[in-house]
Amino acid sequence: MRTRKDNGEGSCRKIAQGKYECVIQSNLINPKTLKPKRFMRRGATEKEARSAAIMAMQAWEKEYRNHGNDANFKKTKLFGEYMTEYMENKVKGTITDSGYYSYYKNMERYFYPYRISKFQLHNLSVRAFQDYYDEIGQKYSKKTCSLPVQLCRRLCKDLVNRSLIPEDYASQAVPKKEVVDEYSRERQEKEEQKKEIFSKEDVIKFHNEWRSHLHNSQYDVVAVFLLETGLRAQEFAALQNSDINMEKSIITIKRSMGRRFADEDGGGIEEYYKVPKNKKQRIIYLSDIAKECVIDMQQRTATYCKENKDDLLYPVFRKPYRARSNSTMEVGFKTLCNFLDIDRCVQRGKTGIYKGLCLHSLRHTFITYANTANGNNSLVVSMMAGHQQRIDENIYTHENIEALSQIQTPGKLFIDDATPKHSIEIDDKDYQEFLEFKKWKEQQAKDKN
């Protein structure tokens, strides 16, 4: 027998197998039938069935009033599907293309493979999110887990606002704090032995390799240049010759390399030029060693790169002669470290992945030595590193450049000869192939005319 309630509360009846069924009618007209929209939901108890029917009605009414959509919300739709929609519609437009690519890859690894993404909305609970937080918290660092936790909470709030779930379960669940034994001698010794930056001996090895070019590596000059300038690897890859002013000894950082999806459907990945990390231009002072590096890279590019459409300082020497990707540079740099017997302090992390010092560690090395040198000015170092911007609109003032020139780079601190004069060894066979190619191109141009 169906029991009737007040308007807006629907009517319930007990059906087979001890379940209850509730039918509720909206005040709004169904555009398909031109009659009041009705909703029917079932539950284990009368209260559960009534609550489900009311939520379904409220969700439809909000969607219809706000967007004019006669939306039918699928009961079988998974939480992971709602997350994909939320990222596409609510997150994507608020961050850069490379930021969205980074978000998506993070969620692809730390959210979608887990059970929480396979739950339907009626299966969600505080316990479900607590179990998810605990599971990823045991495997990954707090920093790694922060993005999926944040997005789960933001999505749950959105679903509550749309009346699709009754409570914000994700915010009620709290990731467990990492319990650390402060008196663990083993942990303390491990932390003390951990290598954070490259040592003085490592810096000298990089410089000696660059001078001798013993192992014929393309990345000896890159290592020294990043040590002298503190550039991010993505900023270095996007450097153009027009960004460099050798007379004033400065580089203007205008762009950086990023990765994004090649199309709206996420099909394929492409690299592109984007604004620097802090969204503003800055200048880098070129020490004498850094200027030598620039000349070296320009000569190598002129010799080995047969085409340089983007006028890059140091592009890839093979087709399509584009900017170097971060992964390519990392492989070349790690190979160079192995040649020079430089310890990168590779250690196994919580996830089983081995990590050690990398290209970005060269930037950390520059900043650390510059900040700890006698007479250092941390504000000037921050300005050159891109951590802090001056209030001045004109960053090219004489005072700014003069202040940057006083920064103590690793080369100034550890290398006796501040202006190394070294010869660039070029393989005769490669050079002859380049000259033949150049003659062929010139002949083709003449034939066309």
Contact present, 22 and 40 (Cβ < 8 Å): yes
CATH code, 200-443: 1.10.443.10
CB-count burial class (<10 Å; 0-12, 13-18, 19+) for 410: buried
Per domain, the residue ranges of the chain are 3-67, 79-172, 200-443
pLDDT (tens digit per residue) in 295-319: 999 999 999 988 898 999 999 998 8
> What's CA 177's distance to the chain center, in Å?
25
User: Per residue in 163-187, pLDDT tens?
Assistant: 788 889 999 998 876 554 455 555 5
Partnered with residue 259 across adjacent β-strands are 271
Hey, what long-range contacts does 322-328 have (CB within 8 A, 24 or more apart)?
322/271, 323/237, 323/238, 323/257, 323/271, 324/237, 325/237, 325/257, 325/271, 326/233, 326/234, 326/237, 326/257, 326/359
| Residue 338: pLDDT over 50 | yes
Residue 226 vs residues 220, 237, 339: alpha-carbon distances, Å: 10, 11, 19
Where do runs of H (alpha helix) occur along 35-168?
Answer: 46-67, 79-86, 97-110, 126-139, 142-161
Cα–Cα–Cα angle for 28, 62, 51, rounded to 5 degrees: 85
CATH of 79-172, one of 3.10.28.10, 1.10.150.130, 1.10.357.140, 1.10.357.10: 1.10.150.130
- What is the value of pTM for the model shown? 0.67
Q: Which residues pair with 3 in a beta bridge?
A: 12
Return all residues near 103 (Cβ < 8 A) that are at least 6 apart: 87, 91, 95, 147, 151
| Model confidence at 395: pLDDT above 60 | no
Spatial distance between the Cα atoms of 367 and 376, rounded to a whole number of angstroms: 11
| Residue carrying structure tokens 């990390």 | 277
Cis peptide before 320 (omega within 30 of 0): yes
Average of per-residue pLDDT across 192-206: 86
26: helix, coil or strand?
A: strand
pLDDT tens digits for 70-125? 666 677 889 999 999 899 988 988 888 888 889 999 999 999 999 999 998 888 99
